[in-house]
Structure 1
Amino acid sequence: MRAVGYEHIRQAHGLSAFPPERPAYVRPVTRLAQIEGGLAVPANRAPEQDSLLEHLLFALKHEGVELAILAEVLPRLDPTELIAALRKAPNGAYLRKLGFLFEAFTGSQLDYQPEVRGKAVPLFDPRAYVTGPVRRDSRWRVDFNGLGSLAWCATVRRSAQIENLLREDILAQAAEFIESLPTETLDRAVQWAYLSETQSSFAIEREAPSADKQQRFVQLLQQAHEPRELSEAYLVELQNATIDNPFDKAFGFREEQNYLHNGARGALGVSYLPPPPPLCHELMHELLEFANGSGPAVPPLVAAAVTSFGFVLIHPFMDGNGRISRFLVHQQLCQAGVLRKGLLLPVSVAMKRHEAEYLAALEAFSRPARERWRVEWIDAEHHEFSFTGSEVIYRYWNATPAVEFLLRMAKAALETDLREETRYLERFDKIYQAVNARYDIRGSDLAKLIMQCLSHHGQLSNNRRKQYRYQVPEAALDFIESEAQRLLHEECALELDKGSE
């Protein structure tokens, strides 16, 4: 098969940019069609093999916008060829986009004065991409509407999964659910969410936090509701608050190369290398601009995913990046004003249950990025790193897997975790009140028995009964079981009725 469009450009010019998500190839078809994860192109529609300009125009028209490939190859385009094409079709939308991007990525202006008539064109088609705030280039009448800037930009395609989950409006469902709860239940559910979110965020890092460290992280999560823009100083505060070792506390974004280790020996143990320090500083400035300025143009969960995953891929600190990245999910949602009354969606709880999916979303970027580095193992403490790729891979990245993942986790956090915890609290309260009305049992003992009973499908173990035989009447133990089983049975019947409707 002969590659065309972006994949042809990438191969023919030996680019460092990652392969396009849906590469285009000439196949025995009669019209353009999406087949087997790629674009099938009839031979009579394929661009000339040796014309970079034709492949670029084909790609922009039929494959969308791949900024990493465009940024790396446009400096190699003959400007006289582009100018000649513009003179023939000065209003051509794709030629105007190329002119705009050529000047942006080369830093030089074409010897050509655009004569554009008609309306401006968006760089990213809003029907195909989730887009950001619009910044118009008056020279080319092109609207830059990416998620970021031309120095750092995430791309999010409107996949069927993303479209369906955005339509569900998970955050509106969460707000409606919270409004429906009695105040006391809400308070306890929120307390549970903060504690569980903290424990799960540390568990993802394979760490069991001390009580003091756990409390500090809960306090950080509560800070997410405070109206405060992200900055280097604020992120340093967060990093310092999550780290115990004083030697690991940061004073600013890192000034040395760090890496992730998978436990293997030698160079094979290096699983990911984030951008080198100078580029790290520049990209963090761009990320903060996006995080503070995406506003209502970007759905909050999309902004949260781009900010959180973008942060952890840049890895601006030597330690603590993972926990801060998950904090940023809450910070973005709170700053967007979609989580009120101290509400927190326990997304890390869902992430912990779906760790393989979390890892896959991260590895969609980290695996190919690792291939752009040469790593030489010196000894147990030292490696030598050489970046052999182009910095475009860190500047322009496909955030679609990250957004899909976070949307799924937000839905799971609401439907599985928050709702289930609330149902548990309601069951607990009903059993507690019923037992307390009949029997005089010490409150701490009753609470432990109810929790044990509910966590074992409405039954108390023989060992538990023996443990409390001199403290709680056997009739009371039987009553706790019968009340728990009755509630569980009623809920099961209700779910069946809903399913049959």
Structure 2
Amino acid sequence: MTCSLQIRYSEAVTVFHDRWLPEQAIPVGYATLIEAYKLSVPLPRKLAAIGPRHKVYEADGWQILTPRHQPANTLGAHLTFALRYEGLDLLVLKALFRATGPEPIADIVRMAPTGSYARRIWFLYEWLLQEQLDLPDATTGTYALVVDPEQQWAITGSNSTRHRVRNNLPGTAQFCPMVFRTQTLNAFVHRNLAAQASRLIANVPADLLARTAAFLLLKDSRSSFEIEGEAPPQDRIQRWGQVIGEAGRRSITLHELLRLQRIVIGDARFVQLGLRSEGGFVGEHDRNTGTPIPDHISARHQDLKELMEGLIAFERVATPELDPVIAAACLAFGFVYIHPFEDGNGRLHRYLIHHVLAAGGFNPPGIVFPVSAVILDRIDEYRRTLESYSRRLLPLIQWTETERGNVEVLNETADFYRFVDATPQAEFLFSCVARTVDIDLPTETAFLAGYDAFKKHVSVLIDMPDRLIDLLFRFLRQNDGMLSKRARENEFANLTLTEASRIEAIYQEILPQIGGTSARTNEISDRGPDEP
């Protein structure tokens, strides 16, 4: 028989593990299991509790249910409650199964051999631990989905005849990030941003579209370096831009990632290329003692080979079926949390976003969404998104300082990087992609169309080299559509008053097309005189 749980919170509480509840309520499901078995795992982003009233609602990271939802005080009842109402938290489940051992789980199945939840629990135990329970194969029962697709994103998957379940998990036991369905994500998916982007460019002339694509590509490459605090020479920015432009053409393998790392790093005299051979962290060092002050601690180097195999398998198995933005968030943020390399992880993380979007046919042919540029504009939100998981891990990672000022992780942490809840990361990435579709793509095409109109009208008025027209345009952008006294007396001293006034009028006429921001003025100067 399934043993009763000895839980600390059998009464209503207002605080659970330093997390305030919206009202006094009894923690259940994952919360109870974490407490009962003293699991060393980050708390799920959302927990469940039984409130005193017949009212179901969500607030402050809690799902409050009614007294009629309260499960019995048994392992099986709380596990079933968790799967039914809270979805799959693979990290908690694996830690729980290790804590219970096989017999309590086998008992759950023996008590309800045809029950769908019992068979799902049975499958998850064997899948996560790669250990078989002492149970005969199931012979009856309708095939049940391991992942409830109304709660979390899943793939088609395949049947497990032993358990009579369909394994629709979006990954392998080596690497399987999960994303919950939220109102925000459902709304983004419903918008069909890929189709919207295609409609935006459907009637854009080919030459204008090519120039738009070239600018957005260069902008993304430059921004990706700026996010890392680097200001490389223009040729290095262009080379990385060319790599981004080829994203999606080759499958992700360790060999391909190593090739990309070599391109990212450039001068590798002081950087170890390839998988790390020691620990890693993101953060600072104490100014006086040199002690590491981590914001994020990377996966142990001993676990990198298996984690990367899992990540590569995810790209091959799951990304073709998942929504491209959801898949990109799982792959790219999963990679950056693992942090497999000594250097170059951030730019490769953002490359993987481009890779998945391009491979999934999300962006229009030849167009790269400038995701890095949007991230740079929203850098604080980006960092908060990264830290939303990293900071939950830090208290659970035991480490010591090495002689070289690095960190050495002392406990088992691989599962922290296998089973990330990537929901916040997916919401953030979707918002970035939406911004490129709503603002960047139409703004850039409109800007170039306006520039072409300005150039055409000025050329009719006066014979002027393209280089000077470009300079004239930038002066007008920088001075609210007026030629400054300095410009009139120097570079454009040969213009008559009538010509100058007419050029200013031309600029004012096309101003609605190019927009009012001056940021684009500086970007135009990075191109050649004939390439606005």
Provide, for residues 109-141 of structure 1, a one-character-per-residue CA deviation record: whole Å limited to 9, x for no partner: 222224453432111111121212413211112
C-alpha distance in 2 between matches for 1:67 and 1:191: 42
C-alpha distance in 2 between matches for 1:212 and 1:491: 28
**Which residue pairs with 2:177 in the alignment?**
154
| CA RMSD of superposed structures (Å) | 2.3
Write the mapping of 1:4-403 to structure 2, written as runs, cut at 5 A. Answer: 4-30=28-54, 32-43=56-67, 45-49=69-73, 51-77=74-100, 79-225=102-248, 227-248=249-270, 250-262=272-284, 264-265=286-287, 266-267=290-291, 269-377=293-401, 381-388=404-411, 390-403=413-426
Q: Give, in angstroms, the shift of residue 373 of structure 1.
A: 2.5
Q: Which sections of structure 2, spanning at least 5 residues, go unmatched? A: 1-12, 14-25, 516-532
Q: Give, in angstroms, the shift of residue 468 of structure 1.
A: 2.7
Provide, for residues 422-476 of structure 1, a one-character-per-residue CA deviation record: whole Å limited to 9, x for no partner: 1111111111111111112232111111133235543333333333342433333
Determine helix, strand or coil for the equivalent of 1:21.
coil
C-alpha distance in 1 between matches for 2:154 and 2:372: 26
C-alpha distance in 1 between matches for 2:402 and 2:298: 20
Q: Which sections of structure 1, spanning at least 5 residues, go unmatched? A: 493-501
C-alpha distance in 1 between matches for 2:437 and 2:68: 51
C-alpha distance in 2 between matches for 1:490 and 1:403: 33
**Which residue pairs with 1:435 in the alignment?**
458
Instruction: Determine whether 1:452 maps to 2:467.
Output: no
Question: Which amino acid is 1:439 matched to?
Answer: I
Provide, for residues 373-413 of structure 1, a one-character-per-residue CA deviation record: whole Å limited to 9, x for no partner: 2344567x424433446432111111111111111111112
Q: Give, in angstroms, the shift of residue 166 of structure 1.
A: 0.9
> Quick check: 11-20 or 275-284, which moved more?
11-20
TM-score by length of structure 2 reads 0.86
C-alpha distance in 1 between matches for 2:339 and 2:351: 14
Q: Give, in angstroms, the shift of residue 294 of structure 1.
A: 2.6
Question: Which amino acid is 1:132 matched to?
Answer: I
Q: Tell me if structure 1 keeps the 8 A contact 2:300–2:413.
A: no
Q: Tell me if structure 2 keeps the 8 A contact 1:133–1:298.
A: no
C-alpha distance in 2 between matches for 1:79 and 1:389: 21
TM-score by length of structure 1 reads 0.91
Q: Give, in angstroms, the shift of residue 201 of structure 1.
A: 0.5
Q: Tell me if structure 1 keeps the 8 A contact 2:216–2:368.
A: yes
**Which residue pairs with 2:487 in the alignment?**
464
Give the percent of matched residue pairs that are identical in Structure 1 and Structure 2.
28
Question: Which amino acid is 1:448 matched to?
Answer: L
> Quick check: 129-138 or 298-307, which moved more?
129-138
Q: Say how many residue pairs are matched.
A: 489
C-alpha distance in 1 between matches for 2:208 and 2:478: 19
Q: Tell me if structure 2 keeps the 8 A contact 1:17–1:392.
A: no
Instruction: Determine whether 1:411 maps to 2:437.
Output: no
Q: Tell me if structure 2 keeps the 8 A contact 1:199–1:214.
A: yes
C-alpha distance in 1 between matches for 2:243 and 2:93: 40
Determine helix, strand or coil for the equivalent of 1:34.
strand
Question: Which amino acid is 2:274 matched to?
Answer: G
Determine helix, strand or coil for the equivalent of 1:338.
coil
Q: Tell me if structure 2 keeps the 8 A contact 1:53–1:77.
A: no
Question: Which amino acid is 1:34 matched to?
Answer: E
